[in-house]
Amino acid sequence: MTDTNPLTVEQRGTVRWLRLNRPERRNALDAALIDALNKQITSAEEDPGTAVIAVAGNGPSFCAGGDFHAFLELHDRGANPVDFLTDVSACFSRIAASPKPWVAVLHGHAVAGGLELALVCDVVVAADTTLIGDGHLNRRLVPAGGSSVRLPGAVGRGLSRRLLLTGELLPATSFASTGWIQAIVPEADLDATATRICQQLADRSGPAQQRLKSLLNRIDGVAPEQALREELATFADNWSASSVADALRVFLAPRTTKADTE
């Protein structure tokens, strides 16, 4: 892909790296970027050679949110930006529901729509200098890409209310105790750390992981009784489809060591 594309793609073995590529706008989300991201969701899910998808940003930031220029263009044409944001929300929900793991790799700023994109990923890795927050109220906006729904589950009710109702941005280190960010490292170590975590996920790729990922999405926010039924149904489906019995026989088979043959 060329630098004019809003999203660059790099395949590193079984890990597909997507980089938001509007650095002059701090990778602000517009229709072209969301369309490119949607196409890559489909492509990655259909590609048997892709086990994990990492999403990062080119330039000084991961993503600073929605593109205000695009918002104003819509407004000046008599349209409400909510139509565009409906597409953003649907795109992010596709990532949350994807059967393959997604890893968000944060640096610079992850604000508003950037935060909302990170929230739908399964694992988050961040440079310790990353500034993270909802930020919508700073521009008289309210969330429309999912942060009001997903942020409490990620960082807890108290911190999420603080971030949502103040618009404050906090360094990644302030989230260390929440468990939401898997690793917080110096920016120089960010790529290597994200690569290692992506490989850990890729090493366990397969039908069982994909069924489990889909299960986790389906039971999010569901009453415990229904969630437990979903879990049992997934186990039953996976038992046959993933040839679990064969794997268990291999695991339990007597090991032949060098000492046994001497």
Q: What is the pLDDT of residues 18-30, one digit of tens each?
A: 999 999 999 999 9
- Joined together, the tokens standing for residue 90 give 């649907």
Per-residue pLDDT reduced to its tens digit, 117-149: 999 999 999 999 999 999 999 999 999 999 999
User: Is residue 149 located within the same domain as residue 100?
Assistant: yes
User: Is residue 52 located within the same domain as residue 137?
Assistant: yes
Give dist(CA 212, CA 61) in Å, integer.
32
Residue 70, C-beta contacts closer than 8 angstroms, at least 6 positions apart: 28, 30, 31, 81, 84
User: Is residue 111 located within the same domain as residue 229?
Assistant: no
User: Is residue 189 located within the same domain as residue 219?
Assistant: no
Any domain includes 14 = yes
Q: Has residue 220 got a pLDDT over 50?
A: yes
| pLDDT at site 255 | 72
Q: Has residue 258 got a pLDDT over 80?
A: no
What domain range is 235 assigned to?
207-253
Q: What is the CATH number of the domain that holds 113?
A: 3.90.226.10
User: Is residue 199 located within the same domain as residue 221?
Assistant: no
Any domain includes 43 = yes
User: Is residue 24 located within the same domain as residue 54?
Assistant: yes
User: Is residue 103 located within the same domain as residue 231?
Assistant: no
**Mean pLDDT over the full length of the chain:** 95
User: Is residue 218 located within the same domain as residue 182?
Assistant: no
| pLDDT at site 2 | 42
Single pTM value for the model: 0.93
Any domain includes 1 = no
| pLDDT at site 93 | 97
Give dist(CA 36, CA 18) in Å, integer.
10
Question: Which of residues 2 and 231 earns the better pLDDT score?
Answer: 231
Listing DSSP states for 114-179 in one string gives: HHHHHHTSSEEEEETT-EEE--GGGGT----SSHHHHHHHHH-HHHHHHHHHH---EEGGGGGGGS
Give dist(CA 214, CA 212) in Å, integer.
5
Model confidence band, residue 254 (pLDDT cutoffs 50, 70, 90): confident
Model confidence band, residue 1 (pLDDT cutoffs 50, 70, 90): very low
User: Is residue 140 located within the same domain as residue 243?
Assistant: no
Any domain includes 261 = no
- Joined together, the tokens standing for residue 85 give 């944001």
Model confidence band, residue 259 (pLDDT cutoffs 50, 70, 90): low
User: Is residue 194 located within the same domain as residue 235?
Assistant: no
Any domain includes 55 = yes
User: Is residue 180 located within the same domain as residue 235?
Assistant: no
| Residue 216 backbone phi and psi in degrees, to 5 | -60, -35
Question: Which of residues 114 and 2 earns the better pLDDT score?
Answer: 114
- Number of domains forming the structure of the chain: 2
Give dist(CA 78, CA 84) in Å, integer.
13
Give dist(CA 243, CA 47) in Å, integer.
22
